[in-house]
Amino acid sequence: MARKIFSGTKTEEEPPDSDCRTLSFAHRIPAMAARTRAAFYLGPVVHELSMLPKLGATRIAALKASGVHSVEDLVRRAPLRWIDRTKLKRIGDLREGDDAVVRAQVVSGNLVPGRRPRLVVRVEDGTGSLELVFFHYAQSWARKLSRGTNWIVSGRVGFFRGPQIVHPELEEVDPGAPWTGEILPVYPVSERMHEARIEQRLLRNLVSAALGLGSLRLPERFPESLRNELGWLPELENLRRLHRPKSMDEVRDARRQLCMGEILPVAIRMARRRELMERRGRALTGGRETLERLRKTLPFSLTGGQENALSEILSSLEAKRQSHTLLQGDVGSGKTAVAFLACGAAAGAGVQCAFMAPTELLVWQHFRKLEPKFREAGIRAELLCGSTPGSKRTEILRGLASGEIRILFGTHALLSADVAFADLGFCVIDEQHRFGVGQRAALLAKGKDPDLLALSATPIPRSLTMTLYGDLRAVVVSEKPQGRKPIRTRVVPEEKRAGLLEWLDGEFAKGNRAYWVVPRIDDDETSELRSLEALEREIRRARPSWKIAVANGRMPEEEKKRSLDGFAAGEFSLLLATTVIEVGVDVPEAGVMVIEGADRFGLAQLHQLRGRVGRGTRDSWCFLLLGESGRAAVDRLNGFASTEDGFAIAELDLEQRGAGNLEGLAQSGATKFVWIDFARDRDLVEQTVSYASAKLRNWDALPEDQREAFAKWFSEDLLEARGNQ
Ligand code: ADP
Ligand code: MG
């Protein structure tokens, strides 16, 4: 028997829009503000928030906490989405398969128990009755969807003894709203705003009042001739169209202009960089013989993908221009070998090389593997890190200045001012997304227009590459070495933990090795450490015979290296670690990755972690452990488990979390974009980039005001100084 749940009246304490994020997703045009937390600050506060009605100190404080400091900021804060009431249908007219929007009143609601318990709500609009079915729902929905409330309901119509929508999108119709237009904006409401009782209705009111201020002006950032050429409206007018649209076409058009306006300056600047690099730099030739000697030291032959990438890099080294290349390739595709040979070619051509990686552990691992090979070929390579002893450091600096040291590996330590090369001509940056743009520039500045090879294991969606790395030429390593078997990925619920330990007993007996990684729970490193220590105690208690090594970020470098070294050599079968081993670590003999609290990681990060295994020819496994709190993430993780394609995962991550939150990209300035949605606006990005290139090609024919504006963009700190200008 179904249980009646509705009291029949709506509780007043429950503000109507408190759950709007989970309840309603009508017309979600790429959500800018959702993830951008704040309007961007562009100028001094001209109109104080206190000028608007119904704003007291508490509410103002809540708005400011969300980055809204002035009336101007409020107006620049975009709606999350819109509810289009212009296309309402009557329930009586619904047909199976329709994508429908109806306006209806709740008449009953029931919790139906059974194998798949569900919430069933019946609504009517006078022409018929429609059933809304929820298999997933929050308890509070039952209360919100109480009898007599009115909703705009949308979704795909099915038929089962009458029309039905499973998991419809819902928006409560708010009869008292001042904005009576047919397209309603819905704004992001932060927790803090919610507590201050700033809800949709109030926000609509506030924006109305703001737009009504006769003195409101926004500074125009684009030259007039450009606006005319593109048919752009003033920014304020575009914002008005977002807040008070007459049609969804208006919304789309306004958004398009704002997006393009946001990336155009970056695109112009990148186009300028490419142009300058054409004119700078030198040809690094004569290194192929050295390269061939080094190639013989590799225990494998390159894959076709590696060969192609290498030959592209070689021809750009040899060309008489500065070349900056972004070498993209999925985790484990063998980018290191390509970079190694490219260094050989550059060293053979007579210049010095720098090889920089983000962690000491990683660069040490590279150095340990590659230095003997360079030595065999008569090339001196050294390693410089924070932990390098003073005397060794002095010796290295001397060798570097004299030109004796041809290749210098290192961490950020390479960037310190007293590290001076005789003639730095080629820089490799491994895991480039871990470095800030300023750091990249600082390394390049140590040479005279050196070539750059940036390695990226976090596959970056193309739209972002074109914008943020628009001055780098992308080269992709398209395949993995032969013989790699798929990594089998499984989501493991808490109750199967014991089973996992038993399974590992068997694997270790067969000589397999495993990583076990813990997440960071709060923002600080301490939580990571705490969970690592707890896990270590637990496992040692359960399995006293296991040979366990531990690695975390707080350990002295020497100890970390000893753990990794011992693990690589097979002295230990289990390496318990924090995310210090996330990138780059390469122990091909390890075939198992266990990730504790997997729901706490972004997909890109999981992909990186999983990429530590599947590097040899053995069977590989990745286990995603979920704590109680992680159940909600099962779908997301199953999605991850079903693919090993890093680019697909990066796109998925981009869609789920937005560019600003993508691993490492925050450093590249991705967070500075408010309007553009890199997951959905690919075409727009491409168009803008080619528009920018065309502009620069026709420089002489450009109107004066455009030339002036562009020249300003060349030097403006749009995304922090990047590259060597
Ligand atoms: P990534 O691209 O993630 O940096 P690595 O350069 O660390 O990958 O390479 C991953 C593993 O594959 C390493 O153990 C490396 O020695 C091995 N490897 C690289 N190229 C080849 C190849 N052509 N054939 C076989 N193994 C290779
Ligand atoms: Mg690597």
Q: Which one-letter DSSP state was computed for residue 89?
A: B
- Asked whether 216 and 51 are in contact (CB, 8 A), the reply is no
Give residue 417's identity as a one-letter amino acid code. Answer: A
Per-residue pLDDT, averaged over 196-206, amounts to 88
Mutate which of 302, 333, 359, 476 to test ligand 1's pocket (most atoms within 8 Å of Cβ)? Answer: 333
Model confidence band, residue 176 (pLDDT cutoffs 50, 70, 90)? low
Q: Which residue has the higher pLDDT, 423 or 205?
A: 423
Torsion of CA 438, 443, 447, 451, to 10 degrees: -90
Percent of the chain with pLDDT over 70: 87
Residue 48 vs residues 44, 52, 196, 604: alpha-carbon distances, Å: 10, 8, 18, 41
Residues whose CB falls within 8 Å of the CB of residue 403, separated by 6 or more in sequence, listed in order: 352, 422, 423
Q: CA 15 → CA 23, 40, 64, 94, 106, distances in Å?
A: 13, 28, 21, 31, 18
Give 523's pLDDT tier (boundaries 50, 70, 90). low
Long-range contacts of 685-690 (CB under 8 A, 24+ apart): 685/263, 685/463, 685/466, 685/467, 686/463, 686/466, 687/260, 688/260, 688/263, 688/264, 688/267, 689/267, 689/270, 689/271, 689/466, 689/467, 689/470
Neighbours of ion ligand 2 (CB under 5 A): 584
Stronger pLDDT, 333 or 629, i.e. the higher one: 333
Query: Which ligand gives the minimal distance to the CA of 610?
Result: 1
Dihedral class, residue 132 (left if φ above 0, else alpha if ψ from -120 to 50, else beta): beta
**Residue linked to tokens 């993908």:** 305
- Spell out the SS3 assignment of 447-483: CCCCEEEEEECCCCCHHHHHHHCCCCEEEEECCCCCC
Q: Check residue 670 and give its pLDDT.
A: 55
**CA–CA dist 554, 274 (Å, integer):** 41
Task: Answer whether residue 28 shows pLDDT above 80.
Answer: no
Alpha helices in 491-602 (DSSP H): 497-509, 525-542, 557-569
pLDDT tens track for 570-579: 999 999 999 8
Q: How many Å lie between the centroid of ligand 2 and the Cα of residue 434?
A: 12
402 pLDDT above the threshold of 50: yes
Q: What mean pLDDT value characterizes the chain?
A: 84
Q: Are strands 352-356 and 424-429 parallel, antiparallel or unpaired?
A: parallel
State the ligand closest to the CA atom of 608.
1
Q: For residue range 530-578, what is the model confidence (pLDDT) as tens digits?
A: 789 999 999 999 999 999 999 998 888 889 989 999 999 999 999 999 9
Q: How confident is the model at residue 657 (pLDDT cuts 50, 70, 90)?
A: low
For the ranges 169-178, 184-193, 521-530, the lowest mean pLDDT is seen at: 169-178
Nearest Cα to 10, choosing from 123, 140, 203, 194?
140
Shortest-distance ligand to the CA of residue 586? 1
Convert 199-231 into a string of H (helix), E (strand) and C (coil).
CHHHHHHHHHHHHHCCCCCCCCCCCHHHHHHHC
- Over residues 359-366, mean pLDDT: 92
536 C-alpha to ligand 2 centroid (Å): 28
Residue 269 region, left (φ>0) first, then alpha (ψ -120 to 50), else beta? alpha
pTM: 0.73
d(CA 516, CA 578): 8
| Kind plus residue range of the DSSP H or E element containing 517 | strand 513-517
- The first and second tokens of residue 681, run together, are 């606006």
Average pLDDT over residues 141-148: 86
Residue 635 in this model has a pLDDT that exceeds 60: yes
> What's the pLDDT at 50?
92
Give the pLDDT of residue 412: 95
Q: Measured from the CB, is residue 489 less than 6 Å from ligand 1?
A: no
Sheet with 451-456, edge to edge strand ranges: 381-384, 407-410, 352-356, 424-429, 451-456, 324-329, 473-477
CA distances from 302 to 480, 589, 646 (A): 10, 20, 21
What is the residue-wise DSSP string for 687-718? Answer: HHHHHHHHHHHTGGGS-HHHHHHHHHHHHS-S
Rounded CA-CA distance 377/181 in Å is 75
Letter for the amino acid at 157?
Answer: V
298/292 Cα distance (integer angstroms)? 10
Q: Check pLDDT > 60 for residue 511.
A: yes
Instruction: Please report which confidence band the pLDDT of residue 179 belongs to, taking 50, 70 and 90 as the band edges.
Output: very low
641 phi/psi in degrees, rounded to 5: -65, -25
pLDDT tens-place string over residues 223-239: 999 999 999 999 999 99
- To 5 degrees, how large is the angle CA 138–CA 144–CA 148? 145
Reported confidence tier of residue 493, pLDDT bands at 50, 70, 90: confident
Report yes or no: 133 and 118 within 8 Å, Cβ to Cβ. Answer: yes
Average pLDDT over residues 420-441: 90
- Which residue puts its alpha carbon closest to atom 15 of ligand 1? 334
User: Which helix (H) or strand (E) covers residue 339, if one does?
Assistant: helix 335-348
Closest atom of ligand 1 to 483 CA is 25
Least confident range of 37-46, 127-136, 275-284: 37-46
Tokens of 653: 């991550």
Cβ of 300 less than 6 Å from ligand 1? yes
Q: Is the C-beta atom of 586 inside 6 A of ligand 1? A: yes
Q: Which atom of ligand 1 is nearest to the CA of 477?
A: 2
180-184, 574-578, 613-617, 695-699: least confidently modelled range: 180-184
